[in-house]
């Protein structure tokens, strides 16, 4: 019996199942049933705070196909992880099954990524960004004097294996992070990934660095203790000269530094 035929039966034992996979690999399963379900080597835990009536979906081209709402589940989706942004960008699948025969009917109802997560009181709201979001992407990239690639991605192709460094944090004062043994400016526009402590797994943007201090774009969500480990990754200011002199990667530069801009049209004789 197909999934849609099962829905036409006079009596059905239906349960919603959510599978969420964070960018750091942590995966959980939740179900609207009052008992846990084992499907495909994943345990879908009973989550009474996430109810079918809390889902609403529609067809729109604004990049948001559905919203998922529910109460916090203490040991699965906790407040600390939400505040640290660990669930932002997580992959989500919503399926329908019969709890009497879990997995035999496995209808895919929605699929996408969690765009933004907001919290109010003891409940959270997660925006599900689905396939419609692809319609908002540009067909062709816009020209720019700066490189449009990110250091180390598939367009840039710079090998980051030797451009990462594990450091021990001495102290944190707002956005200033005390770290010794750095090359000044090497990690500007790069990233810092917390490896231990309450911020573990969170990635933050680095604005600039000296030989003994890092400046972050934003302060860490949680307090950082001395001797916390972090992983630093070099960054790039996306300028042609930097690409040439520091990375010797001009062949993969994704910008047009010599393309005349609109200011050419406004010039007057003798300017």
**Where are the chain's structural domains?**
3-136, 164-234
| Contacts of 173 by beta carbon, 8 Å cutoff, 6+ apart | none
Residue 57 pLDDT: 53
Question: Are 205 and 254 contacting, i.e. CB atoms less than 8 angstroms apart?
Answer: no
Residue 243 pLDDT: 95
Instruction: Find the helix or strand (DSSP H, E) in which 214 lies.
Output: strand 213-216
The CATH class of the 3-136 domain is mainly beta
Which structure tokens are listed for 177?
Answer: 């992070």
Angle at 209 between CA 206 and CA 212, to 5 degrees: 130
Q: Under CATH, what is the fold of the domain 164-234?
A: Thrombin, subunit H (2.40.10)
| Total Cβ atoms within 10 A of residue 125 | 14
Residue 242 pLDDT: 94
| Contacts of 196 by beta carbon, 8 Å cutoff, 6+ apart | 228, 229
Sign of CA dihedral 209, 224, 26, 71: negative
Cα–Cα distance for residue pair 233/131, rounded to 1 Å: 31
**Burial class for 143, CB neighbours closer than 10 Å (0-12, 13-18, 19+):** exposed
Residue 23 pLDDT: 83
| Residue whose tokens read 């911020």 | 199
Question: Closest by alpha carbon to 68, among 13, 27, 16?
Answer: 16
Question: Are 209 and 178 contacting, i.e. CB atoms less than 8 angstroms apart?
Answer: no
Residue 90 pLDDT: 86
Cα–Cα distance for residue pair 103/253, rounded to 1 Å: 48
Q: Which residues of the chain have pLDDT under 70?
A: 1-7, 48-75, 121-123, 125, 130-137, 261-265, 267-268, 270-271
Q: What length is written for the chain?
A: 271
Helix (H, G, I), strand (E, B) or coil at 193: strand
């Amino acid at each position: 019996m197909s999934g849609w035929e099962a829905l036409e039966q006079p009596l059905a034992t239906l349960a919603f199942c959510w599978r969420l996979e964070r960018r750091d690999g942590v995966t959980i399963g939740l179900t609207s049933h009052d008992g846990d379900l084992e499907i495909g080597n994943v345990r879908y835990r009973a989550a009474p705070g996430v109810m079918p009536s809390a889902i609403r979906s529609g067809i729109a081209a604004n990049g948001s196909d559905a919203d998922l709402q529910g109460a916090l589940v203490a040991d699965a989706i906790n407040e600390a992880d939400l505040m640290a942004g660990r669930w932002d960008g997580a992959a989500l699948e919503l399926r329908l099954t019969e709890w009497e025969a879990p997995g035999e009917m496995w209808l895919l109802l929605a699929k996408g990524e969690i765009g933004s997560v907001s919290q109010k009181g003891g409940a959270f709201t997660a925006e599900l960004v689905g396939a419609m979001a692809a319609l908002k992407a540009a067909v062709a990239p816009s020209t720019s004097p700066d490189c449009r690639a990110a250091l180390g991605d598939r367009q840039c192709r710079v090998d980051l294996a030797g451009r990462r460094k594990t450091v021990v944090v001495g102290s944190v004062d707002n956005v200033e992070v005390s770290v010794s043994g750095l090359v000044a400016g090497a990690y500007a526009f790069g990233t810092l990934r917390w490896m231990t402590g309450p911020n573990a797994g969170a990635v933050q943007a680095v604005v600039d660095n000296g030989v003994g201090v890092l400046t972050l774009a934003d302060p860490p969500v949680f307090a950082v203790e001395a001797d916390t480990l972090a992983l630093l990754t070099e960054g790039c200011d996306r300028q042609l000269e930097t690409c040439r002199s520091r990375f010797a990667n001009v062949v993969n530069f994704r910008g047009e530094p010599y393309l005349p801009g609109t200011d050419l049209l406004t010039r007057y004789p003798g300017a």
